[in-house]
Structure 1
Amino acid sequence: MPSPVMVTVRYWAAAKEAAGLAEEQVRATTLAEALTLLRARHADRPRFAPVLAMCSVLIDGDPVGRRDPASVSLREGACVEVLPPFAGG
């Protein structure tokens, strides 16, 4: 099993508000592991998990899309961006 790596998580719009911060770091091997750790870290913020569930995720600018988060490996220093759905157009 690969060793966990440190990644930066950046929150945008409603995700930033729900997390109570714009950016943080987490150590994980996969996106699924990172998301689980983030949910636990913000368990005291009731809006965080529901907002996170609606968000799109980009890793180093590449959309994760519908891929299983458990299949998405993280690399040291990656930037994970959490973007809620945007209205308008």
Structure 2
Amino acid sequence: MAKVTVRYWAAAKAAAGVADERYEAATLADALAAVRERHPGELARVLRRCSFLVDGDPVGTRGHDTVRLADGGTVEVLPPFAGG
């Protein structure tokens, strides 16, 4: 399993109560399941609307179970942004 940093932004950061956390996970799906387990309330709801970057690359519509995580990598949790 890879050791990754999950970094929260905007509403996700507010719901988590921290800017980032460390997790061990093989895939993005595994990491998000661990996040939901640790934060079953508001953050779990916010995650449904988020997009994700893994090591700077957008995940887009790829299945989260197909996105492999690298040891030392970063998952960015990006809620929808308003404005333009």
Q: TM-score surpassing 0.5? A: yes
Inter-partner Cα distance in structure 2 for 1:30 and 1:15? 20
Indicate the residue corresponding to 2:16 in structure 1.
Answer: 19
- 3-state DSSP class of the match of 1:54? coil
Structure 2: unaligned runs, 5 residues or longer: none
Inter-partner Cα distance in structure 2 for 1:51 and 1:62? 21
> Aligned ranges for residues 1-89 of structure 1 at < 5 Å?
4-43=1-40, 46-89=41-84
Q: TM-score, normalised to structure 1's length? A: 0.92
Structure 1: unaligned runs, 5 residues or longer: none
Inter-partner Cα distance in structure 2 for 1:71 and 1:61? 17
Inter-partner Cα distance in structure 2 for 1:37 and 1:10? 14
- Runs of 4+ in structure 1 over 2 Å off: none
Question: Deviations for 1:13-66, whole angstroms, at most 9, x for unmatched residues?
Answer: 0000011100000000000000001100112xx211110111010011110000
Q: TM-score, normalised to structure 2's length? A: 0.97
Write the letter of the residue equivalent to 1:39. R
Structure showing greater Rg: 1
The number of residues matched between the two structures is 84
RMSD of aligned C-alpha atoms?
0.6
Identity within the alignment, %: 60
